Structure 1
Amino acid sequence: MSTYTTLSAETEALVESQREILDAHDDRFEAAKELTTNLGAHWREGHAAFGFWTPELVDDVGPAEVRLELLTATDGVDLTADEQTVEFERHVVETRREGEFTWAAVEGPRPGTRDQFGTLYRLTYESDGERETVTDPFADSLPFGAYGPPELYDTARLDAERADREYFERLRRDGVEPHASEDDGLPRFEPATSMLEIHPGTATESGTLAGLTRQFETIGEKQADGDTLTPAERNFAGYDAVQLMPLAPITQNEDELGYWLPQTVGDDSLQVTVGRPDMVNWGYDIVISGFGTVNPAILETRRPDELVDFIATMHTLPEPVKVVFDIALGHADNGALPLLNEAWLAGPGMYGQELDYTQPVVRAGLLELQRRKMDFGADGIRVDGAQDFTNWDPEAESEWHDDEYLAEMDRVTQEVAGVEYRPWMIFEDGRPWPRSDWELASTYRTLIDQHPHAYQWGPVTFAHNTPALQTFWATKWWRVREVADMGANWISGVANHDTIRRGTQLEPEPPFSQPQINRYLGDSEPEKLDRAYNNPASTVLFHAFMPGCPMDFTHANMRAPWGFVRDTDAVWNLKVLAEEENFPQWQVRPEQFDDDAHFQRLGEWGFDSRDEMSEFLGLLADAVEMTDYEKADIATLLNTMGTPIGDDFTVDELEQLGRDWMRDVADFANLAHWHDEQGDERTAFDLAVREFRHDHDWVAGDLGADDVLDYAYPTDGTVLYYGHRSAPDGGEELLFVAVMEGVAETVVPTDLAGVDSGGWELALASPGLGVAAADEPLELADSDVALFVRSLD
């Protein structure tokens, strides 16, 4: 049996540090910003320091009753195993409370590393004869998910051993000029030229960061050796940044047993059945607790080192690639309720629970969690739903945007490999969304105006854009024109995780009174959707002609299925499933459903075809609407109507069907299934467009006063964009022409744009388009595009 001892002097030092910090600051928030850096578990070369914010214990639990429980596995633990039973030594040691904080410095715990499973920890106390525990929202490792105990982890070693230290040292040496408002001289990572959004859970066969690392390592090796990339690999290349969808620990389905199941508890031992977290989720259903570490469901080894390994791989590619984290701190899933003390939360909200940004420790704690997550080595931060950071004004009976908190997020600096720096800052902010006039009223510039170095998601990128609709490019013209005039600090493009989902929610065959689908995009719904979000005309428009930072989405590049996946919510799963009623028609070809590789769980329910699945979802959607989402009534109504797979459903069975749907869709969307489906000509074209932007990066600036972007008027059944712009240094010109949608049109590009005809060379043309010269007639069908370049040197 190991020995664990609370170190009196070191514990007193933690308490004294708290006192000194509070005494040094009149502003509680400023004090909390310093105090929260000490919270969590920190390995101190020989002992561990633990700090908890415990306001919920102050009035009801005496200081002497609260102990620190330490659990150390007696044998090796295989963190990759689906399930195993583990024996832990259990030690309970003294803590010290000072006001709302509980501290302990302990000798004996084992720190976790890449190769070593560390000691687990949590606070424990007795209440009404029951043993209660308090977890650590500032945990550095959660191998069994947010609802299992955290692991003491040696994060200093993790940073010291990273393979991209030279990358950060170059930043310190070369740096960039700090913005005028940033007088501390710290370098800030510059914006990317183009970016790829990735969902780690479905981007590779393994659905892990390790799998993603291997994929980019292979691409990097081929690039270094001058080897040809496969069509599938091209879809990941040609970018200088990737944005990872959220990586934070997420909620779990309350109807599932979970991944930490104690079996027998003794005074000095604990036997637990542990599982490999395998939640399926987009990543936005976060629980705040453990936000600073990584969701173990996307870690092959369950070691946080995987994230550092991925970042280091991207930074050391032949052409280094920035890594942007998608930070979702504007809400908490309802699953946060048993994990956080009530001071963190302001009450129910649109996405679960609102966070209390007015509470000083919460306000500082969230910023500290952001800092710790970004200290994995990210170059940039995308703030999800910045319009959702609000506080309630009881006198005005309305919410107000906490822009000062967003400014605090922008002030957080990172320290990686001994280098302090500022990340590239990106905000997604569609305010006044969800106000009814948001689509017209949103400027998408509020935070750029406040932080001129920052970027925002632009108006053609925001969630509700649906380019599969007929007249999209005509009715969105005013927004496209804004991108041209003021888009230098916008993330642009039409494909991301939200927009494709909005596409699958469209009615495939809408009534004549509603907006129609662009029939020229393809012969089937899947063809139309694929081409809407991976479209030659829009790809060249945003990557080769327009300002800002264009962003693509892996699933759009691969023309692979993508849907809303979340098997973690027992409450709303069926409602979400009902909202996906059009998914089969948009995303599933009949032969794909018939393939035994897909939809195995749904097959076991009795679905024999895509059409049966589509019929069932339509019935479910009707039942959800008619019953106002009363689950028992939904079951009764479905059983009364009858479905393709039976008429005797219970609520429990419907909920299980919802979970099976989510997992089958996630499996179906895994890109490993679609590598062999990639067209050589198409993927080569897409990559050539991205490479063109990097070779002509001046296009990232706004169009000048003499530049042109317009559409042919009258439309005559065709939305025909054309443009002409010149490099700021006068060295070259671009000539753009594309049928964004509609019937074929024959034009002479130089005549259309009103430019002289000499010296133009074809730079890019959509696959299969025959182009003679810029001053000769060119027939363009829907989505066809040509881009010409003329050197003036």
Structure 2
Amino acid sequence: MTQNTSPTLCSDQTAELIAWHTDVTETATSEFDAAETLSTRLGSHVNVDGTVTIGFWTPELTEADVPEADVYLELYTPTGSVDLTTDETAAFDRHQVPVRQHEDYTWAVVDNVSAGTRQQLGTLYQLVYKRPTPGEALARESDLGDEEWGVIPDPLADSVPFGVYAPSEIYDMQHLQANRADRDYFASIGTDAERVATSEDDGLPRVDPAVSMLEIHPGTATEAGSLGGLARKYETIGEKLQTGEALTPAERNFVGYDAIQLMPTEPITQNPDLHDYWTPQQLDRSTDAQSIEVKIGNPEMINWGYDIVVSAFSATNPAILESNRPDELVDFIAACHNLPEPIKVVFDIALGHADNGSIPLLSEHFFEGPGMYGKHLDYTEPTVRAILLELQRRKMDLGADGIRVDGAQDFRYWDPEREEMIHDDAYLAKMDAITQEVAGTEYRPWMIYEDGRPWPQEDWELASTYRTLIEQHPHAFQWSPVTFAHNTPALLTFWATKWWRVKEVAEFGSQWITGVANHDTIRRGTQTEVGDAWNAPQENPHLAETLPETLNEAYNSPAATMLFYCFMPGVPMDFVGANMRSPWGFIRDTDPAWNVKVVAEEAYLVDWQIPDDVYGDDRFFGGLKSLGFTEKDDLRMFIRALLSAVDLTDYDLDAIATVLSTLETPFGKEITADDLETFAYAWMEDIHHYANLSHWADEQDDERTAFDLAVREFRHERPWLRSDIDHEGNEAYGYRHPTNGTVLYYGLRESPDGDEQLLFAANMEGPPIEVSPEILADEIADLPTDGWEPALAAPAVATGADRDSVTLGNVQSIVWRRSL
């Protein structure tokens, strides 16, 4: 940008843009086809000549007859360097630039603005308009701005350094892509002749499925709690692998996989009463130019990632960016791609709903109505449909190898003729059809759907096949029923009662993601009621002596790990928190009132996740202790009472406060709704800190982490195990009946070339049991009993050449190998 030169509208180039728009709409075969093309130009795009094209879809302005002369592109250009890593007051030149409206769109090509890069903050922008009636919102339940002016943020922004409720940043995405460190990786995808030859009909290569996968929450995976921290972790691991240096036990928990699934990295809602990262001082929109100071903040939001607002979906959540630069996500991807054994990166795409925090950010046309998780999106609106697909394309173009579609069963719409909700499989097919282009290579990603339809129907867990989308898209994968269902393997008889679902994995699980530990199942386990009532779920007494140890054993047991890695078909997935045996809970700070309900549902986490001696550790629970909850028993009593009061009062905060005021609590005799909100935020903040894996790195067991890594390596040496059990060949599987108190799983696998057989046995839960090839011959017809040698066993299992049999304790397992 030229010094002291104000941003201006490039009239001729804007006119050319509108002419292009006109041609698109006149030649398109449908409104959706036109919107698909138009959406590619929405948002901000840096042009070769340095100008920037900016486009908005603004049907609310059209419907309210807001004159073009009353609509402006508001631009904030920093006057000096800005430190994005801290809170400060920064100086900006604010300008208003006229725009051009055409149909339901607003366009502008502007000059004399700066584009953001890794090194600098670019010009910030948003659309503003004079309200026809002061104080009245346009076609929104709420919106941003003030009494006189309304604000429309950019839903297709590439960068939102101060959160989605602040102006977006013009960012030079072409510069980012040109300088990414994994360009050779993508070039190899395009030159893989075998992959191209076996690809889809259009000749594009599709990324191969992984052998195994690790799920990671960026906000708690490293001490930094950032994608930059994760990038450095994998760069360090890569250097050690390259030089042969031994990994630490904690580092082992991050390797042995050829794919990583990141929990959502999209911008999220933010607690409006606690967070404000963009506050202009003395803003005066009566003038088109102004030098102002803005109080800015480095976003620090606590969330598990699924409370997305859809707006700026193509950007990265600034709360997990320590540098507040989009490059940080690309750096992490490149660190994975450049390992001696490259790791694929899978994005978790959550476009099946929008948090209520999206209401002031998006046109009401985006919403069909209220939904289970906030707002249900209107997939039948042609432009909304096109924009959502464009947001997916841009997000994936950051360099992801695969896409996991969160809650595919939530992509539905109401059919008035049939008077029922219809699964929008046509939209899911559109998601599958999108191609990516990264570093000059066009490709199709590995496609994974989480689909539990007919969820939320009451019998969904019984009725769901988990195969609908695989049948529609034969190359696609789905989460398995054991993985998707809200499983709690810490409960007694889990492996007996879930056998019918495990059996399905054996029968047709080759395109399922398998395993029991993920972000959702562990927190569901912590929500299980703990009590002595005869009809209450019973924790498994065989696993451990305490509830926290029981939970750790359940989600990271040798038996379950070996079952899915050494025997079952599919792609096994672990959650890094389970590998680390660290705490995990429902971390989602959205707004003060809703937080109270969320925390109440976590009442039993106190028992499942917090050992008595750990609560007293000065490193943890500082916020709750400052409120007076110095003893774990006081916390347990209060939060259980809170849960009961939520149920009793139908979530009325004032009524809840009145009920709890009858108890003796650290808050004293009179509790207010504000007290409850303060408690909920302190809980969120403390649990988020408590769950950070850096606190548990030094507690990792050397033998156990070595075993877990060996199990993953066993799978990678035998990728053929992904195939379904072959009943026509020599393979078999089973579950011993009667159990006699012990749930014994067993099975036989044979390599496709006939060179190797594997014999598996696991005590999934229960008292110790003796096993051997001879004993298993009573369960598996025609099982050879000679030539077997132990290939891999749980650490506590004693094996040796002089042993005819081994004893498997609770959750212990073994696999024998036999050469043919």
Which of 240, 262, 286 in structure 2 is aligned with 1:222? 240
Alpha-carbon distance in structure 2 between the residues aligned to 1:87 and 1:126 = 25
Which residue of structure 2 lines up, in the alignment, with residue 242 of structure 1? 260
Once the 2 structures are TM-superposed, how far is the Cα of residue 134 of structure 1 from its aligned partner? 1.1
Once the 2 structures are TM-superposed, how far is the Cα of residue 85 of structure 1 from its aligned partner? 0.9
Once the 2 structures are TM-superposed, how far is the Cα of residue 766 of structure 1 from its aligned partner? 0.5
SS of residue in 2 equivalent to 1:632: helix
Unaligned runs of 5+ in 2: 135-147
Report 1:347-386 matches (<5 A). 347-386=369-408
Alpha-carbon distance in structure 1 between the residues aligned to 2:128 and 2:559 = 60
Alpha-carbon distance in structure 2 between the residues aligned to 1:193 and 1:442 = 25
1:636 has 2:658 as partner: yes
Which of 717, 721, 724 in structure 1 is aligned with 2:741? 717
Which residue of structure 2 lines up, in the alignment, with residue 487 of structure 1? 509
Contact 1:619–1:643 (CA under 8 A) maintained in structure 2: no
- CA offsets 1:573-592 (integer angstroms, 9 cap, x no match): 11111111100110001111
Report 1:736-751 matches (<5 A). 736-751=760-775
Q: 1:136 to 1:359 in 2, by over 3 A?
A: same
- CA offsets 1:659-703 (integer angstroms, 9 cap, x no match): 110010000000000001100111000000000000011101111
Contact 1:135–1:339 (CA under 8 A) maintained in structure 2: yes
SS of residue in 1 equivalent to 2:17: helix
Contact 1:560–1:669 (CA under 8 A) maintained in structure 2: yes
Alpha-carbon distance in structure 2 between the residues aligned to 1:521 and 1:352 = 38
Once the 2 structures are TM-superposed, how far is the Cα of residue 3 of structure 1 from its aligned partner? 2.2
Which of 198, 209, 224 in structure 1 is aligned with 2:227? 209
User: Structure 1 counterpart of 2:83, which letter?
Assistant: D
Q: 1:774 to 1:119 in 2, by over 3 A?
A: farther
SS of residue in 2 equivalent to 1:710: strand
Once the 2 structures are TM-superposed, how far is the Cα of residue 756 of structure 1 from its aligned partner? 2.2
Which residue of structure 2 lines up, in the alignment, with residue 414 of structure 1? 436
Alpha-carbon distance in structure 2 between the residues aligned to 1:749 and 1:277 = 58
Once the 2 structures are TM-superposed, how far is the Cα of residue 563 of structure 1 from its aligned partner? 0.5
CA-based RMSD: 1.3
Which residue of structure 2 lines up, in the alignment, with residue 475 of structure 1? 497
Once the 2 structures are TM-superposed, how far is the Cα of residue 743 of structure 1 from its aligned partner? 0.9
Q: How many residues align?
A: 791
Which residue of structure 2 lines up, in the alignment, with residue 390 of structure 1? 412
1:68 has 2:97 as partner: no
SS of residue in 2 equivalent to 1:735: strand
Name the TM-score, length of structure 1 as normaliser. 0.98
Alpha-carbon distance in structure 2 between the residues aligned to 1:787 and 1:690 = 13
Which of 556, 572, 586 in structure 1 is aligned with 2:578? 556
1:771 has 2:789 as partner: no
Which residue of structure 2 lines up, in the alignment, with residue 17 of structure 1? 20
User: Structure 2 counterpart of 1:271, which letter?
Assistant: E
Alpha-carbon distance in structure 2 between the residues aligned to 1:610 and 1:515 = 23
Which residue of structure 1 lines up, in the alignment, with residue 98 of structure 2? 94
SS of residue in 2 equivalent to 1:16: helix
Q: 1:614 to 1:179 in 2, by over 3 A?
A: farther
Alpha-carbon distance in structure 2 between the residues aligned to 1:553 and 1:768 = 23
1:189 has 2:207 as partner: yes
- CA offsets 1:162-213 (integer angstroms, 9 cap, x no match): 0101101001000554698931100000000000000000000010000001
SS of residue in 2 equivalent to 1:229: coil
- CA offsets 1:346-370 (integer angstroms, 9 cap, x no match): 1111000010100011000000000
Alpha-carbon distance in structure 2 between the residues aligned to 1:686 and 1:511 = 36
SS of residue in 2 equivalent to 1:641: coil
Report 1:748-767 matches (<5 A). 748-753=772-777, 754=780, 755-767=783-795
Which of 804, 809, 812 in structure 2 is aligned with 1:781? 809
Which residue of structure 2 lines up, in the alignment, with residue 582 of structure 1? 604
Contact 1:748–1:774 (CA under 8 A) maintained in structure 2: no
Identity level (%): 57
Contact 2:593–2:653 (CA under 8 A) maintained in structure 1: no
Alpha-carbon distance in structure 2 between the residues aligned to 1:167 and 1:106 = 35
Which of 251, 254, 275 in structure 1 is aligned with 2:297? 275
1:284 has 2:288 as partner: no
SS of residue in 1 equivalent to 2:265: coil
Q: 1:598 to 1:308 in 2, by over 3 A?
A: same
Which residue of structure 2 lines up, in the alignment, with residue 104 of structure 1? 108
Contact 1:175–1:188 (CA under 8 A) maintained in structure 2: no
More divergent stretch after superposition (481-490 vs 129-138): 129-138
More divergent stretch after superposition (642-651 vs 415-424): 642-651
Contact 1:607–1:645 (CA under 8 A) maintained in structure 2: no
Once the 2 structures are TM-superposed, how far is the Cα of residue 776 of structure 1 from its aligned partner? 1.3
Once the 2 structures are TM-superposed, how far is the Cα of residue 640 of structure 1 from its aligned partner? 1.5
Once the 2 structures are TM-superposed, how far is the Cα of residue 257 of structure 1 from its aligned partner? 4.2
Q: 1:311 to 1:412 in 2, by over 3 A?
A: same
Which residue of structure 1 lines up, in the alignment, with residue 699 of structure 2? 677
Which residue of structure 2 lines up, in the alignment, with residue 27 of structure 1? 30
SS of residue in 2 equivalent to 1:192: coil
- CA offsets 1:545-589 (integer angstroms, 9 cap, x no match): 111000000100000000011122233111111111100110001
Which residue of structure 2 lines up, in the alignment, with residue 137 of structure 1? 155
Contact 1:509–1:517 (CA under 8 A) maintained in structure 2: no
Which of 111, 115, 118 in structure 2 is aligned with 1:114? 118
Contact 1:774–1:788 (CA under 8 A) maintained in structure 2: no
1:791 has 2:794 as partner: no
SS of residue in 2 equivalent to 1:572: helix
User: Structure 2 counterpart of 1:360, which letter?
Assistant: P
Contact 1:197–1:496 (CA under 8 A) maintained in structure 2: yes
Alpha-carbon distance in structure 1 between the residues aligned to 2:25 and 2:197 = 32
Report 1:432-471 matches (<5 A). 432-471=454-493
More divergent stretch after superposition (440-449 vs 511-520): 511-520
Alpha-carbon distance in structure 2 between the residues aligned to 1:112 and 1:623 = 49
More divergent stretch after superposition (641-650 vs 311-320): 641-650
